[in-house]
Each structure stands twice: as structure tokens, then as C-alpha cells.
């Protein structure tokens, strides 16, 4: 059997470590600026790829990411598995049932939002194939279909993230946008499968284009009807008769790998099989949340970053950047999507402002355009400048959605407890012995920071305290008040070894005291709800009480809020 030499194994691990570490670092960094982590992950890949590392440290680059030989093949295989796993989770998150629940409006938004940009892309490709970097000697119809597809698919995960951040997910606009984006995703992947099936080199698996179309459609339809029903029937058996969650995890991953293999056999790409499998599995109410949570966390935090960083390895993003092509693509992508989805929303009976909001939300593009771009580049259907333009377009449309909607609907970003706490308001050892003592102590530190008098804050807090007790479970107390004239909300965290009676429901004295003060014109609801979710986990309270420094306190507060 062929084995990797020790040196090759070392390079594979080194390359993966470099990709993952830089992707995660850059992803977390851009998150600090409220940008999606995928942006950072792609930038990390561009830095490690031919654009920067390859240019300035060609020896290091050639060692880490050789273009030929065993290491290149193994990395290619691992990236292929990463993207298959990523699409599995994307599929699991698609909720087919909800699409039909939204009915007419969602279908209108989705279909107009796909047809118009598809038409723009298709027509532009027919008129300016050379300008748009069509590959040498490609079939103009396939190229036009590719361009249409590449412009028309919204990125479900990005759209969901934007709606959650703007607290629009549970509004009418939010549910319609989510359902439309899911429908978009599903139709988009089927289109994607068809276009891939028609690309020349894939036909090397021995299927003709019509044969491929039939295979794609029947696979999607069968998997989402019979397959879905079978999975729904089999899952309880697996859940009942195997170890939990091992049996279910093994089943899902085996099925995904098999579907990926079948999709490749059918002449389309493995990711299509993985996505459809995910959609069929995710539908079953028998899939427990904790099972899918394990898949989700490892895939989005290990395999997805590897894939997104690998995008930057494909080409030089500076020399292949063609401003004209890129701006043209961004222009027709935005115009087509906002116009189409917005028009659909108007027809569905929404007002103009909301319709534009829907258009803006649906405008975000993501992984699918990039995967499609990579495959088209490898198949010779497009040249590098179009690949770069597609990646940039996907990033730009994702980046502008949230700020644009924020301006349109004047939404403020919701604040969370852990964003507001600060080191100077962490009082690790309160001196007071009584409830009023510690409240006075905390107010005296907190009030000056927001231009207020400590006595006034204390009076408001203790008045509020008389109305309802602020003692919670696990030895936590959360006194709060609205204070007129506060410049911003403020949170002080105090600890005391002694334990102070805050009349809590479980009768335990409070050792962790969280003082929340919010401006009068702003509800403290966000912060209180956040505190409520956070401190319902005993582990969080215990860790906060044991924290030796402000960083350890922050670490304790950075817990799952669900």
C-alpha cells in the first residue's frame, strides 16, 4: 500500500495547523469589528496563499503548500471532506417545513429573488463572455448558466446571522426572509448540481448532460421524500438500539459520505449529496438537538475554517484582481437580488421600506458562490479574474447587508452582558455586610463612570429592590434600576465571601452581585434577559465565583446562551 513518507505527514499536519490557526485567529479578530468570521477566514487563506506568503516567502509557501505530489493530493482530499461536512451542517439547518408554512410571500420573494439576478447573470454572460473571463473554448450556454447560478443564490447562514444580530429573526420580515433563503438554498443547490453536471471534465465519469440532469433531480426528489421518510423511520430505531449519541452520529456521517460518493458518481459534486442528506436528516424531529450540536460545533469551528482558508490558496488575489469585472459582478449581483427579492416582497403585500429590507437581507452571498467558483475554475469554465470577482462579490454583499438594513429600519444592535462588563467594575471583594452596604459600595464605583451621583443610583436601586427581590438561584443577586440621564447602560459585578441575604427563591445568600443600570429611555430587558439565561447555568455561577481575575470572569460569562 502507498504510504505517506514521514516528511509528507509532517507537512500535511503543519499546513493544516497553519490554515486552522490563522483562520480561527483572523475569524475571531474580524468578529470584534462585528464582521462575519468567514471574512477573516478567507483573508487568512489569502495571506497564506500565493497572494502574500507565496510572493514574499516563496520557499516557505512551497514547503507548506506544494502544488504537486502527495501532500497536495492529501490536502485536496482533506479540504474535500471539510467542505462535505460543512454542507452537511448547512443542510441540517435548512428547515423545509417552514418554507411551505410561509406560503405565498416566501415563494414570491424567493423566486423573484432568484429569477432576476439569474437573468442578469445569464444575459451578461451571453453578451460579454470575454470580459467576464469565460474559459477558453467553453460552451457559452454552460457558462451563462453558471453565471446566472453564481449570482442568484443567497447565503442562508449569513442571512440568518444578520437577522439574529439585528433582532429581526422573529419579525414577519425575518420569518419570510429565512424561509425564502432556505428555498433559495435548496433550488440553488439543485441548479448548482445541474451546472456542474454540464461542465465538461465532470462528464468524464461517463454520463451525458441529460443523464446528469435526471440523476440530480431524482436524487434530490427521492432523498427529500422517500429518503427523508426512511431516515425519519430509521432514526428512532438507531436511537433506541445503539449507544447515544454514537449510533446516530455514525449513521449521519456514513450516510453523508455515501451520498457524497454517489453525487460524485452521478457527475455532480460531493457537496450536493452532503447538502441534500443534511436537509433530509435535519427534518426529522427524532434528531436530538444535542446530537446536531456536536456536529455543528466541530464542523463550523474546525472543518469550515479549513475550507474557507483554503479558498485563498487557489490563486493570487492581487494579480488576478480585475477591478472592472469585480465591480460589474458586484453591481449586477446587488441590483438583481435587491430588485428581485424586493419586488417579490411588494407583490406579497409588504410596504416599500420592508420590501427593500427583504431585498437587502437576501442580497448576502456566501460559501456556495465560492465553491461553485472553485469548481468552475478547476474545470476551466472560468479564468482567475472571475474567480476572484466571485469571492469578492460574496464577501462584499455579506458585509453590506447588515449596516444597510440597520440604516433602513433603524435597528440598534442588542447589547449583551459580557460586552458591557469592564475590568474597573469588577469588585472581587465587597466589604459590605448588608444588602444596602454592598449596593451603596457598588453604586459608588459605578455611578461616576456614567456621570451620575452614587446616592441617586443607590436610591433608585433600593426602591426597585423593595418592589421585588433580586435574589436569584445559586447565590446570585441581580439588582437593577433605570436611571434618568445615564449616558449608557452599565453593569458592575461584585463578589463577597460572606454571602448576603437578597431574599432569593432558593433561600441561599448571594455571593455574586450583578448591578445593572440602564438609561431611562432604553429598556433593561436585554441585559436582564441575558443575565437570566447566563446565571441559570450553575457552572457559569461557580466559575464566576472562582474567577481570580477579570479575564477569568469574562471567560465564565462567555457561556452558551440557550
Residues 260-319 that bind a second copy (CB under 8 A): 260-261, 264-265, 267, 270, 286, 288-290, 293-295, 297-298, 300-302, 305, 313-314
Among 47, 63, 74, 528, binds a second copy (CB under 8 A): 74
Smallest Cα–Cα separation from 514: which of 541, 488, 487, 486? Answer: 541
Instruction: Name the burial class of residue 464, with classes exposed (0-12), middle (13-18) and buried (19+) by CB atoms within 10 angstroms of its CB.
Output: middle
DSSP assignments along 190-234, one per residue: HHHHHHHHHSTGGGGGS--HHHHHHHHHHHHHHIIIIIHHHHHHH
Residue 175 CB, nearest approach to a second copy (Å): 24
Under the binding rule (CB under 8 A), the answer on residue 69 touching a second copy is: yes
Residues 76-115 close enough to bind a second copy by CB under 8 A: 76-78, 80-81, 84
Residue number, 137 or 560, with CB nearest to a second copy: 560
Residue number, 50 or 117, with CB nearest to a second copy: 50
Interface pattern 116-155 for a second copy (x via CB under 8 A): ----------------------------------------
Give yes or no for a contact between 492 and 449, defined as CB atoms under 8 angstroms apart: no
Among 225, 319, 434, 549, binds a second copy (CB under 8 A): 549
Under the binding rule (CB under 8 A), the answer on residue 2 touching a second copy is: yes
* Residues touching a second copy, count (CB under 8 A): 93
Residue 506 is placed in which grid cell?
Answer: 432558593
Residues 349-368 close enough to bind a second copy by CB under 8 A: none
Under the binding rule (CB under 8 A), the answer on residue 240 touching a second copy is: yes
- Determine the Cα–Cα distance for residues 27 and 35; give it in Å rounded to an integer: 9
The three-state secondary structure class of 429 is coil
- Determine the Cα–Cα distance for residues 107 and 345; give it in Å rounded to an integer: 9
Print the SS3 string covering 235-286.
HHHHHHHCCCCHHHHHHHHHHHHHHHHHHHHCCCCHHHHHHHHHHHHHCCCC
Residue number, 377 or 481, with CB nearest to a second copy: 377
Under the binding rule (CB under 8 A), the answer on residue 235 touching a second copy is: yes
Among 113, 245, 479, 489, binds a second copy (CB under 8 A): 245
Residues 15-34 close enough to bind a second copy by CB under 8 A: 16-17, 20-21, 23-24, 27-28, 31
Q: What are phi and psi of 2, to 5 degrees?
A: -70, 130
- Determine the Cα–Cα distance for residues 223 and 83; give it in Å rounded to an integer: 20
Among 96, 107, 169, 253, binds a second copy (CB under 8 A): 253
Residues 374-413 close enough to bind a second copy by CB under 8 A: 378
Give yes or no for a contact between 111 and 184, defined as CB atoms under 8 angstroms apart: no
Instruction: Name the burial class of residue 314, with classes exposed (0-12), middle (13-18) and buried (19+) by CB atoms within 10 angstroms of its CB.
Output: buried
Among 140, 246, 349, 448, binds a second copy (CB under 8 A): 246
Residue number, 340 or 366, with CB nearest to a second copy: 366
Under the binding rule (CB under 8 A), the answer on residue 560 touching a second copy is: yes
Residue 561 CB, nearest approach to a second copy (Å): 9
Question: What residue has cell string 454592598?
Answer: 438
Sequence length of the chain is: 562
Among 237, 331, 424, 485, binds a second copy (CB under 8 A): 237
Amino acid at each position: 500500500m502507498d504510504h505517506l513518507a514521514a516528511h509528507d505527514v509532517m507537512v500535511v499536519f503543519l499546513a493544516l495547523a497553519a490554515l486552522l490557526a490563522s483562520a480561527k485567529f483572523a475569524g475571531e479578530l474580524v468578529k470584534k469589528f462585528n464582521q462575519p468570521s468567514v471574512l477573516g477566514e478567507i483573508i487568512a487563506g489569502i495571506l497564506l496563499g500565493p497572494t502574500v506568503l507565496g510572493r514574499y516567502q516563496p520557499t516557505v509557501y512551497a514547503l507548506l503548500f506544494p502544488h504537486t505530489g502527495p501532500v497536495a493530493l492529501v490536502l485536496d482530499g482533506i479540504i474535500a471532506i471539510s467542505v462535505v461536512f460543512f454542507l452537511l451542517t448547512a443542510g441540517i439547518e435548512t428547515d423545509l417545513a417552514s418554507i411551505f408554512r410561509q406560503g405565498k410571500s416566501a415563494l414570491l420573494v424567493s423566486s423573484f429573488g432568484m429569477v432576476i439576478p439569474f437573468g442578469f447573470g445569464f444575459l451578461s454572460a451571453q453578451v460579454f463572455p470575454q470580459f467576464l473571463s469565460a474559459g477558453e473554448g467553453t460552451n457559452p450556454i454552460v457558462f451563462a448558466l453558471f453565471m446566472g447560478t453564481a449570482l442568484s443564490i443567497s447565503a442562508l447562514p449569513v442571512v440568518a446571522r444578520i437577522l439574529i444580530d439585528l433582532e429581526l429573526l422573529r419579525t414577519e420580515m425575518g420569518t419570510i426572509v429565512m424561509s425564502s433563503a432556505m428555498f433559495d438554498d435548496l433550488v440553488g443547490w439543485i441548479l448548482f448540481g445541474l451546472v456542474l453536471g454540464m461542465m465538461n471534465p465532470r462528464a468524464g465519469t461517463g454520463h451525458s448532460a441529460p443523464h446528469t440532469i435526471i440523476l440530480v433531480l431524482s436524487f434530490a426528489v427521492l432523498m427529500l421524500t422517500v429518503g427523508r421518510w426512511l431516515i425519519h423511520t430509521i432514526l428512532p430505531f438507531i436511537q433506541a438500539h445503539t449507544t447515544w449519541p454514537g449510533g446516530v452520529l455514525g449513521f449521519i456521517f456514513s450516510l453523508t459520505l455515501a451520498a457524497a460518493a454517489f453525487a460524485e458518481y452521478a457527475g455532480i459534486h460531493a457537496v450536493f449529496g452532503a447538502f441534500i442528506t443534511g436537509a433530509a436528516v435535519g427534518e426529522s424531529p427524532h434528531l436530538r438537538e444535542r446530537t446536531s450540536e456536536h456536529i455543528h460545533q466541530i464542523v463550523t469551528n474546525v472543518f469550515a475554517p479549513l475550507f474557507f482558508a483554503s479558498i485563498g490558496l487557489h490563486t493570487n488575489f492581487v494579480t488576478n484582481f480585475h477591478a472592472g469585472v469585480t465591480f460589474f459582478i458586484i453591481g449586477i449581483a446587488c441590483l438583481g437580488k435587491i430588485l428581485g427579492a424586493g419586488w417579490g416582497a411588494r407583490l406579497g403585500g409588504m410596504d416599500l421600506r420592508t420590501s427593500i429590507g427583504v431585498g437587502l437581507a437576501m442580497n448576502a452571498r456566501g460559501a456556495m458562490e465560492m465553491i461553485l467558483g472553485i469548481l468552475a475554475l478547476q474545470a476551466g469554465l472560468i479564468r482567475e479574474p472571475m474567480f476572484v470577482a466571485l469571492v469578492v462579490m460574496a464577501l462584499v454583499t455579506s458585509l453590506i447587508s447588515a449596516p444597510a438594513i440597520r440604516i433602513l429600519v433603524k435597528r440598534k444592535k442588542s447589547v449583551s452582558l459580557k460586552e458591557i462588563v469592564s475590568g474597573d467594575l469588577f469588585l472581587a471583594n465587597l466589604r459590605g455586610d448588608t444588602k444596602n452596604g454592598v449596593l451603596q459600595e457598588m453604586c459608588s464605583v459605578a455611578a461616576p463612570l456614567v456621570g451620575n451621583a452614587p446616592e441617586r443610583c443607590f436610591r433608585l436601586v433600593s426602591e426597585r429592590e423593595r418592589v421585588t427581590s433580586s435574589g436569584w438561584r445559586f447565590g446570585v443577586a441581580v439588582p437593577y434600576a433605570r436611571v434618568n440621564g445615564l449616558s449608557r447602560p452599565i453593569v458592575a459585578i461584585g463578589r463577597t465571601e460572606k454571602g448576603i441575604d437578597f431574599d432569593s427563591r432558593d433561600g441561599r445568600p448571594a455571593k455574586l452581585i450583578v448591578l445593572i443600570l440602564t438609561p431611562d429611555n432604553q429598556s433593561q430587558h436585554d441585559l436582564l434577559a441575558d443575565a437570566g439565561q447566563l446565571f441559570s447555568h450553575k457552572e457559569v455561577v461557580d466559575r464566576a465565583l472562582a474567577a481570580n481575575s477579570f479575564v477569568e470572569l469574562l471567560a465564565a460569562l462567555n457561556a452558551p446562551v440557550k
